[in-house]
């Protein structure tokens, strides 16, 4: 617009301009962002990092030990029994797959909707997605028992002339999870390339220059590089977006397409997707709040970022609570005595309210308390603006989402149509150690990522600075402003 011409739109006189919170605090420059993020990779690791890596690495060693014992002895070392043929193995699989959903949501959907606040948290969330899917893939692969036959899951010619049953949702899982992992890995790596080139150019040793140079794929920051990068990133974002919705929907089909009471319900796909986003964002906050404090990233991962993620946790937690109520309503409205018995007698019946309490009542009410009640504290601004309070509250969804998967699987299986085969699932030490080991593996991989790769997207954070906006008035305060209706002023 030429100088001296009138603006096309003017604010209404009843509106007052409200200053929007900046996404980078204290007027940090582009050079400061590059220096502050890069030095996490370039400087010597701090002592706490070594201690954390040693502890989590030791815990992660439980995974190969437990798996070696499982393969050499048999799946009987797990607590699975009849009728609970699925137990902690599939519970942990669905739990870890859900954890990985926030990364793709932040990166893909928020990117396509041009939400600039994603820029400081997207890379860590994407890395979390990769590591969570790695932990998840362990369980379905090894629960088949004969791990050396797991390649039969893929539709490739084999000597036994066995063809896969494409009508089985278990096979859909293979394609959905493998596709999700591949696209998420490509999406994460493509976004890393420009920052890997920055680390390469700043390298002071030959080894670093060679390693990061190879990973940067010859990036030179030319117009041609950026044009191809933006096209590739946009295409991957477009592919990833339906995957966010489809992957956990396919995982829910493992249960929803069966006729077992407690599983046979059409609400599972949206319910599982909302729960996955809910648990995923809780895990992002669990990891990034300590990382922000330990690396002094308060100017980049601001209270505004935490506030927005808390609101998403509140929204998705409320959706999950609605799904819980709809399960009970559908069971009652269906008139199916088996469905009603599973929900009202075998899940929610607690001591003091029933003469025959459900065996797993404690798991159901732990799920309700953690997933429905705890997130409601985020209605209060005080709870959203204090990092320690936020970190404490999001531990409840982390625990509650595991209980949700356990309740869905165990309470629907342990009492089937034949009372003579009723059983009670109790995890063995192998079950417990394998799950604890995957937690150690997840945190161990995240610590390695933080140490050797830039955990914040340098070039995208620079793009949200006021000086990066061509329409920005550099003589002003440097913060975008938006009109808001005056309330009683």
pLDDT in tens, 68-112: 999 999 888 998 888 888 889 899 999 999 898 878 888 888 888
CA distance 168 to 149: 18
CA distance 477 to 475: 7
Asked if the model's pLDDT at residue 154 lies above 90, the reply is no
Work out the angle at residue 442's Cα, subtended by the Cα atoms of residues 117 and 387, and round it to the nearest 5 degrees.
40
Dump pLDDT digits (tens) for 454-479. 999 999 999 888 877 666 554 444 44
Run of H or E residues at 195: helix 169-202
The predicted pLDDT at position 248 comes to 87
Asked if the model's pLDDT at residue 15 lies above 60, the reply is no
Dump pLDDT digits (tens) for 342-381. 999 889 988 877 778 888 999 999 999 999 999 999 999 9
CA distance 391 to 394: 5
Confidence tier at 113 by pLDDT (50, 70, 90): confident
Confidence tier at 486 by pLDDT (50, 70, 90): very low
What is the residue extent of each domain of the chain?
A: 25-259+267-302+429-483
- Give the pLDDT mean for 27-48: 90
CA distance 364 to 350: 9
Work out the angle at residue 260's Cα, subtended by the Cα atoms of residues 256 and 263, and round it to the nearest 5 degrees.
35
Phi first, then psi: give them for residue 212, nearest 5 degrees: -70, -30
* Contacts (Cβ under 8 Å, ≥6 apart) of 442: 96, 99, 131, 132, 135
* Contacts (Cβ under 8 Å, ≥6 apart) of 117: 23, 110, 304, 305, 308
Dump pLDDT digits (tens) for 415-430. 888 888 888 888 999 9
């Amino acid at each position: 617009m030429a100088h001296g011409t009138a603006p096309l739109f003017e604010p209404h006189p009843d509106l007052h301009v409200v200053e929007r919170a900046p996404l980078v605090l204290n007027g940090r420059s582009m050079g400061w962002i590059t220096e502050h993020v890069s030095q996490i990779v370039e400087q010597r690791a701090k002592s706490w990092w070594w201690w954390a890596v040693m502890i989590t690495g030791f815990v992660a060693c439980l995974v190969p030990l437990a798996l070696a014992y499982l393969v050499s002895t048999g799946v009987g070392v797990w607590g699975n029994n009849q009728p609970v043929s699925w137990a902690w193995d599939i519970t942990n699989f669905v739990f870890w797959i859900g954890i990985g959903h926030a990364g793709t949501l932040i990166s893909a959907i928020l990117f396509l909707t041009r939400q600039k606040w994603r820029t400081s948290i997207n890379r860590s969330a994407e890395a979390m997605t990769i590591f969570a899917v790695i932990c998840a893939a362990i369980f379905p692969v090894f629960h088949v028992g004969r791990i050396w036959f797991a390649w039969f899951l893929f539709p490739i010619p084999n000597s036994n002339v066995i063809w896969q049953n494409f009508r089985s949702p278990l096979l859909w899982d293979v394609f959905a999870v493998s596709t999700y992992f591949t696209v998420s890995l490509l999406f994460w790596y493509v976004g890393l390339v420009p920052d890997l080139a920055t680390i390469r150019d700043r390298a002071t040793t030959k080894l670093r220059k060679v390693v990061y140079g190879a990973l940067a794929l010859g990036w030179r920051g030319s117009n041609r590089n950026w044009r191809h990068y933006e096209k590739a990133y946009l295409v991957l974002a477009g592919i990833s977006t339906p995957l966010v919705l489809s992957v956990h929907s396919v995982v829910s089909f493992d249960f929803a397409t069966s006729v077992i009471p407690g599983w046979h319900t059409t609400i599972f796909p949206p319910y599982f997707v909302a729960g996955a986003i809910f648990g995923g964002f809780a895990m992002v906050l669990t990891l990034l709040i300590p990382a922000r404090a330990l690396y002094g990233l308060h100017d980049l991962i601001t209270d505004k970022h935490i506030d927005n993620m808390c609101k998403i946790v509140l929204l998705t937690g409320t959706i999950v609570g609605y799904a819980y109520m709809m399960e009970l309503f559908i069971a009652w409205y269906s008139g199916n005595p088996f469905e009603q018995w599973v929900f009202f007698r075998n899940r929610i019946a607690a001591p003091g309210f029933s003469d025959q309490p459900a065996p797993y009542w404690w798991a159901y009410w732990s799920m309700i308390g953690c997933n429905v009640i705890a997130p409601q504290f985020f209605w209060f601004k005080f709870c959203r603006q204090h990092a320690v309070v936020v970190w404490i509250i999001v531990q409840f969804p982390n625990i509650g989402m595991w209980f949700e998967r356990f309740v869905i699987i165990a309470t629907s299986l342990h009492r089937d149509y034949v009372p003579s085969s009723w059983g009670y699932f109790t995890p063995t030490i192998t079950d417990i150690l394998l799950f604890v080991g995957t937690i150690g593996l997840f945190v161990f991989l995240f610590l390695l990522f933080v140490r050797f790769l830039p955990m914040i997207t340098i070039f995208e954070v620079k793009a949200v600075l006021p000086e990066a906006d061509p329409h920005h008035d550099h003589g002003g305060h440097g913060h975008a402003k938006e009109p808001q209706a005056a309330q009683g002023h």
